[in-house]
A and B are shown apart, each in its own frame.
Chain A
Amino acid sequence: MKRDLIYTCKSANPEETSDFARKMKSIFVPGVVVSLIGNLGSGKTFFVKEFASAFGIKDVDSPTFTIVNEYVSNQKIIHIDFYRINKISELYEIGIFDYLNNPETIVFVEWGNLYPDILPEKRFELEIESSENNHRKICVYELG
């Protein structure tokens, strides 16, 4: 399967990450699934929060407990988190495919790397690496 690096961003502070997230609006369009990969505290939820703010959505918070958050404005954004999922059958049980196969929504999946096989082959992967001084390196890959 093809996995092309299409964007990289070196961010020195939250403002720069926010700018990058908002710019991705032209790439992450309705119908896409974006798997977010990065350690605890790397800024996955922050990225989605800033991305969604470009659509006027202000109520983004962590979906770790809820598993799925749905945000609605003129654009519907689905924010999923696999962190608390113990086995793949739990994803079937919550009806994961109803969320993943909707041409009108933009889907973000935190910890998507825990169950990559359940995600569509054609997707984006966004890797966030944090380094010292709170700097971040963000890489966006296009798959499939």
Chain B
Amino acid sequence: MITLGIETSCDETSIAILQDGVLKANIISSQEFHKDYGGVVPELSSRAHLQLVLPLLRKALSQSEIELKEIDLIAATAGPGLIGPLLVGLSFGKSLAYSLKKDFIAVNHIEGHIYSGFLMNEKPNFPYLCLVVSGGHTLALLVESESEIIKLGGTIDDAIGEAFDKVAKLLGLGYPGGPLIQKFSEEGDPKFTAFPIAQLDNRYDFSFSGIKTSVLRFIENNYKSSEIMNLAEKENVAAAFQKAAIEPLLRTIRNATEEFDVKSVCIVGGVAANKKLREEVEMLGEQRSLKVVIPKMEFCGDNAAMIALRGQMLYKNGVRHDLNENAFPRNPINLFRQRPGLV
């Protein structure tokens, strides 16, 4: 079975081809691609996605040596995301399905991330604890099967990736913040200062707004502004922040593996690319004899491989969608089951 995946929920345009369990292509638009097709395009535009989907599809087909008519299933992201970009990918997927007379599945982008561990050779075992950590999301989930997901908690304010970006900006490091904080942290002392870690009523919830404010206050109180901080000072603050941002994730893994019968731990989303986080989680997994699955970099950020995979998984479970499926900007509130006893 050959599945075509289409992802356009935010900044990235991506097309993937999955043949049964084998990923044949996973093309993600880059600045290079923008240059090749259509010059400079605003990053967030629906038009950029529109210009990219066809060339990306051609590239994916030629790389896989597969013809369009050989595709059995088309899976496209329907949400959550920006409505304009979503509509581009979804309409493209539906049009292809209609014209080629193929089956169609609308995929939830977050579910794509949640099951992205299955793109790896070493796959997670159910039930697994899944931390979705990205620029837009921070979720702690108990994934019981291909259809059952229980929400343990989530961020009550900023997403973790957003905290990385904003702290990088406060320190004058630039954008995107994740890789820069990681780079500066390598030489810094994580014990330089202790930024507070939020304690919330639900121990599986997260808050990253407070850490951001603490970093701001720390810079103001000690240096007035980041402009007069020297390199070592920036490295130290970055390292101390990174430690405080990662700790709540490690705490969640410790708590969840004690409370629930968890077979594996899976960290997904853009922040899963963070080296320190990967190391710490691997170490924790070793201590507790837990299988740790963290997708490789290409599956951490937004990508169509995970959309194809989730589409194929749903299809094999008997799910079929018609062409009336619409795009949705936000997740429905009842997407995940709530933990029993949690108010």
User: A residues bordering B, Cβ < 8 Å?
Assistant: 39-41, 45-46, 49, 58-59, 61-62, 64-71, 85-87, 89-90, 93-95, 130
- In chain B, positions 19-74 with a C-beta closer than 8 Å to chain A are 42-48
CA distance A57 to B42 in the complex (A): 32
Which of B92-100, B155-163, B252-260 participates in binding chain A? B155-163
Q: How large is the interface on B (under 10, 10 to 19, 20 to 34, 35 or more residues)?
A: 20 to 34
CB A67 to nearest CB in B, in angstroms, measures 6
Task: Contact check, B82 vs A41: say whether CB atoms are below 8 A apart.
Answer: no
What are the residues of chain A within 8 A of B311 when measuring CB–CB?
Answer: none
Task: Contact check, B82 vs A66: say whether CB atoms are below 8 A apart.
Answer: yes
What are the residues of chain A within 8 A of B169 when measuring CB–CB?
Answer: 40
- In chain B, positions 190-221 with a C-beta closer than 8 Å to chain A are 209, 212-213, 216
CA distance A130 to B330 in the complex (A): 31
Query: Is the CB of B136 closer than 8 A to any CB of chain A?
Result: yes
CA distance A39 to B226 in the complex (A): 14
Task: Contact check, B216 vs A64: say whether CB atoms are below 8 A apart.
Answer: no
Residue-wise interface mask of B (211-248) relative to A, using a CB-CB cutoff of 8 A (1 in contact, 0 not): 01100100000000000000000000000000000000
Residue-wise interface mask of B (302-324) relative to A, using a CB-CB cutoff of 8 A (1 in contact, 0 not): 00000000000000000000000
What are the residues of chain B within 8 A of A90 when measuring CB–CB?
Answer: 42-45
Query: Is the CB of B10 closer than 8 A to any CB of chain A?
Result: yes
Task: Contact check, A40 vs B43: say whether CB atoms are below 8 A apart.
Answer: no
What are the residues of chain B within 8 A of A87 when measuring CB–CB?
Answer: 42
| Shortest beta-carbon contacts, A-B, top 5 | A93-B45, A41-B213, A65-B136, A65-B135, A90-B42
Query: Is the CB of B333 closer than 8 A to any CB of chain A?
Result: yes
What are the residues of chain B within 8 A of A95 when measuring CB–CB?
Answer: 46, 83-84
Are A94 and B45 also in contact (CB < 8 A) when A46-B209, A62-B162 are? yes
Residue on B with the closest CB to A58?
B333
User: B residues bordering A, Cβ < 8 Å?
Assistant: 10, 42-48, 80-84, 134-136, 155-159, 161-162, 165-166, 169-170, 209, 212-213, 216, 329-330, 333
What are the residues of chain A within 8 A of B156 when measuring CB–CB?
Answer: 61
What are the residues of chain A within 8 A of B47 when measuring CB–CB?
Answer: 93
What are the residues of chain B within 8 A of A46 when measuring CB–CB?
Answer: 157, 209
What are the residues of chain A within 8 A of B158 when measuring CB–CB?
Answer: 45, 61-62, 64
Task: Contact check, A66 vs B44: say whether CB atoms are below 8 A apart.
Answer: no
CA distance A87 to B42 in the complex (A): 8
Task: Contact check, A39 vs B216: say whether CB atoms are below 8 A apart.
Answer: yes
CA distance A62 to B157 in the complex (A): 6
Residue on B with the closest CB to A69?
B330
CA distance A56 to B85 in the complex (A): 29
Task: Contact check, A70 vs B329: say whether CB atoms are below 8 A apart.
Answer: yes
Task: Contact check, B46 vs A93: say whether CB atoms are below 8 A apart.
Answer: yes
What are the residues of chain A within 8 A of B82 when measuring CB–CB?
Answer: 66-68, 94
Can you show 15 pairs from A to B with CB atoms below 8 A apart? A49-B157, A61-B157, A62-B162, A65-B162, A66-B80, A67-B44, A68-B329, A71-B330, A86-B42, A86-B43, A87-B42, A93-B44, A93-B46, A94-B44, A95-B84
CA distance A62 to B136 in the complex (A): 8
What are the residues of chain A within 8 A of B46 when measuring CB–CB?
Answer: 93-95
CA distance A118 to B162 in the complex (A): 25
What are the residues of chain A within 8 A of B155 when measuring CB–CB?
Answer: 61
Most chain B CB neighbours (cut-off 10 Å) among A49, A61, A67 = A61
Are A40 and B330 also in contact (CB < 8 A) when A90-B45, A93-B45, A93-B47 are? no
Task: Contact check, A66 vs B84: say whether CB atoms are below 8 A apart.
Answer: no
What are the residues of chain A within 8 A of B170 when measuring CB–CB?
Answer: 40
CB B153 to nearest CB in A, in angstroms, measures 13
What are the residues of chain B within 8 A of A68 when measuring CB–CB?
Answer: 82-83, 329
What are the residues of chain A within 8 A of B42 when measuring CB–CB?
Answer: 86-87, 89-90, 93
CA distance A144 to B10 in the complex (A): 34
CA distance A59 to B333 in the complex (A): 8
What are the residues of chain A within 8 A of B136 when measuring CB–CB?
Answer: 65-66
Which of A41, A66, A71, A93 meets B209, CB within 8 Å?
A41
CA distance A87 to B43 in the complex (A): 10
Residue on A with the closest CB to B169?
A40
Which of A41, A86, A93, A94 meets B216, CB within 8 Å?
A41
Task: Contact check, B330 vs A70: say whether CB atoms are below 8 A apart.
Answer: yes
Which of A39, A58, A64, A85 meets B44, CB within 8 Å?
A85
